[in-house]
Amino acid sequence: MLKIRNVLNLLNLLLCGLGLLSTMPAQAERIKDIASIQGVRSNQLIGYGLVVGLDGSGDQTTQTPFTVQSMISMMQQLGVNLPPGTNLQLKNVAAVVVTSALPAFAQPGQTLDVTVSSIGNAKSLRGGTLLMTPLKGADGQVYAIGQGNLVVGGVEASANGSSTTVNHLSVGRISGGATVERALASGLGETKLINLELLETNFSTASLVVEAINQFFGSNTAAAQDARVIHVQIPDDANDRVTFLGKLESITVSPAKTAAKIIMNARTGSVIMNQSVTLDTCAVSHGNLSVTIRTTPMVSQPGAFSDGKTVTTQSSQIEINKTPGKVMLIDSGASLADVVKALNAIGASPQDLLSILQALKASGSLHAEIEVI
């Protein structure tokens, strides 16, 4: 009896848990994950620099004269004046482009990760050191300085004319390789109003976000400008403003279902469909026609002690194979799983799906937007 009672109690707990799960909002997401605050974003930085200390794998100076020019200019700035006409053979130096991203509210002294990419014909940046490189923003101002030792996730080995390369050797990364020298001005807090920008334009989602914010902070706190931008009133005090924005980003919302969409890559044959894709009742037929041509060289040898010549000819065999077409009936309102199962059942390859889905869209049976990339 005791064991039975324990089992019944366990079942009751499981049923209560399922009941709680059923009452929770489906696919609830934080506002932080579906929207961003206007003006709070990262800014791209770029710079031109030199990597030294390479083991003979640097730029070939005859084909990359800008590497020599950059090296001479740097040496002059360091007080080294070379005689005119000096021919430098720099095998351990490579010209590179350094890129990074300046996050919002970054302050001087903060470090950033940088990516270093070769722009010449250097074979490898492995073991190199990036010299001091100013990193500029779109306005031409210097916001960070990059320098440090590169980490390249690759290796190359060669012997007797044969070589093997693993991963990419002309791009490296320096963790914390740049130091912020100038803070980027932010307009957040200059007014009592901020703008939330949804990552996806959707009137339903904008309405749900406004409703959730007003329910949490009080009426008239948020108002939608359109399907993407939402105006939110914020406190005047800076401390209260930070607390307010932290609570705002943590509010959970169940966004509206996304529009049915199919992304097709014509180059690779990849087809991606979201869960909103459905079909009306339709029939799909699929059949393959393959042509195989085999060419075999034929050599005719003349008889012994004859005046004939060896003749080489080509013998070709052509085979045409046509697999019987298959017809698959798809019921109305089919889900994504039904669509995939039906197309796989008739043996459709990714390349075939491109034509089949476009034909279904043209017939009016497919309810989805098709985008070819």
Distances (CA, A) of 353 to 163, 268, 286, 343, 368: 40, 12, 10, 8, 14
> Are 217 and 276 in the same domain?
no
Q: What's residue 354's pLDDT?
A: 74
> Are 103 and 138 in the same domain?
yes
> Are 292 and 354 in the same domain?
yes
Q: Which of 26-35, 102-111, 351-360 has the highest mean pLDDT?
A: 102-111
Please indicate, yes or no, if residue 195 is contained in any of the structural domains: yes
Please indicate, yes or no, if residue 102 is contained in any of the structural domains: yes
> Are 170 and 234 in the same domain?
no
Q: What's residue 174's pLDDT?
A: 94
pLDDT greater than 50 at residue 48: yes
CB atoms within 10 A of CB 65: 11
The more confidently predicted of residues 57 and 270 is 57
Q: What's residue 40's pLDDT?
A: 86
Q: What is the mean pLDDT of the chain?
A: 79
Q: What's residue 335's pLDDT?
A: 62
pLDDT in tens, 208-242: 999 999 999 988 899 999 999 999 998 888 778 88
Q: What's residue 97's pLDDT?
A: 96
> Are 240 and 266 in the same domain?
no
The secondary structure of residue 183, as a DSSP letter, is P
> Are 249 and 270 in the same domain?
no
> Are 51 and 135 in the same domain?
yes
Please indicate, yes or no, if residue 14 is contained in any of the structural domains: no
Q: What's residue 164's pLDDT?
A: 63
Please indicate, yes or no, if residue 31 is contained in any of the structural domains: no
> Are 94 and 133 in the same domain?
yes
Q: What's residue 251's pLDDT?
A: 92
> Are 216 and 271 in the same domain?
no
User: Structural domain of residue 329, as residue ranges?
Assistant: 262-299+312-372
Q: What's residue 258's pLDDT?
A: 75
Average pLDDT over residues 283-289: 63
Dihedral sign for Cα 236, 242, 248, 249, please. Answer: positive
Query: How many Cα atoms sit within 13 Å of 190 on the Cβ side?
Result: 7
> Are 174 and 196 in the same domain?
no
The Cα 262–Cα 372 span in angstroms is 8
Average pLDDT over residues 150-171: 70
- pTM of the complete model beyond 0.85: no
Q: What's residue 16's pLDDT?
A: 46
Q: What's residue 144's pLDDT?
A: 96
Average pLDDT over residues 100-116: 93
> Are 351 and 271 in the same domain?
yes
Please indicate, yes or no, if residue 269 is contained in any of the structural domains: yes
Total domains, the chain: 3
Q: Is 318 left (phi over 0), alpha (psi -120 to 50) or beta?
A: beta
pLDDT greater than 90 at residue 339: no
Q: Which of 265, 264, 263, 279 is nearest to 340 (CA)?
A: 279
Please indicate, yes or no, if residue 80 is contained in any of the structural domains: no
The more confidently predicted of residues 240 and 341 is 240
> Are 213 and 334 in the same domain?
no
Please indicate, yes or no, if residue 335 is contained in any of the structural domains: yes
Indicate the pLDDT class of residue 317, thresholds 50, 70 and 90: low
Q: What's residue 10's pLDDT?
A: 42
Q: What's residue 14's pLDDT?
A: 39
Average pLDDT over residues 242-265: 85
Q: What's residue 327's pLDDT?
A: 59
Please indicate, yes or no, if residue 229 is contained in any of the structural domains: yes
Share of the chain above pLDDT 70, in %: 72
